[in-house]
A and B are shown apart, each in its own frame.
Chain A
Amino acid sequence: MHKHVIVIYPHPDDESFGSSGTMTQFRNQGVPVTYLCGTLGEMGRNMGNPFFANRETLPDIRKKELLDACKILDVNVEMLGYRDKTIEFESRDEIAEHLKGYLEDIKPTLVITHYPGHAVHPDHDAMGAAAVEAVRKMDPEDRPEVWAQAITNDRYETLGKPDIVNNVEAEFDVKVAAIQAHRSQFEGMFQKMRQSPDFKGQYEDVMERFKHEEFYQWQFNN
């Protein structure tokens, strides 16, 4: 059994959409979970539907939503203070060092993050790359496992079958509640999925997809 799980993503809501079912499974087993959230999603385009936020109020609103979601998920959260959309332009090494500080402090046995290069949003890719780099910097015997999450449409073709597929149907209520805590974001997002030509009428499929959380086990070669 894992001793402590650290989840690393750049945006408030990545945790709820991405791996909240898995986090809930760990919490139900009594495993502590800490979410390291890179930014406050300051540049998000969704302002609620109908919109109630603006560019200047959004950071505080999303911070509150993040805290609400993490309360529902019963996980600790640390906000890292980077700025939305800019992570790929920062020094990867500095971010990795920053993250490594948390890893050395908390000593997790598992890190969950985005699969660099396969996570659609540049912040996801950059934060995932920094997270992998942070673990790589550690002594091989001290390294936690890394589960990398790919969300590209062609992930199966390019990466093959995921190593870990968690059925989170039993945790689905918690997951949906956590997603809904991100009130400024989820309405626009669901709308988008409903209308998307590349998810064609697949809203139900998307909901179905939310019932499984998939990860690739990261292999370190050095």
Chain B
Amino acid sequence: MKHIISVLVNNQAGVLSRVSGLFSRRGFNIDSLAVGTTNIPEISRMTIVVDGDDNIVDQVQKQLSKLIDVIKVVRLDAENSVSRELALIKVRADTSVRSEIMQIAEVFRANIVDISKDTLTIEISGSSKKAEAMYEMLRPFGILEDARTGLLSLERGAKTILDD
């Protein structure tokens, strides 16, 4: 089972290694980890997708809460949150297939962000499922390289991570 955990941390040197170190030390599996600063400059937000049963996720949450630099940890319910990830995919695209690929991109509402004689770079954002589907479609053309952000999530509605 995959679970989404959202963590507010002090925006300080070493915090990322404290968090990732905790995962490896305790044998928790990270599916993805996305981190960036928030609108409050002293605070960063990590979105972590964890693979494991309820007990494991419960442990992850409690162990994270013990880190001094962790301000808040919540589990996000997939149904009740909006989740996005962004991928950049560089695909082989000579003139014979270029328009076909561009059509696919259009269906997915993806953007062409770079073009060369033999390649297209496509930016896609959406659910992980959508990104996966896009990959499926592009694979036959030859994916040269790609980069993904990992999942970002926020709870739906007016509630925020700092509300209790």
A complexed with B: no
> Chain B: residues with CB nearer than 8 A to chain A?
none
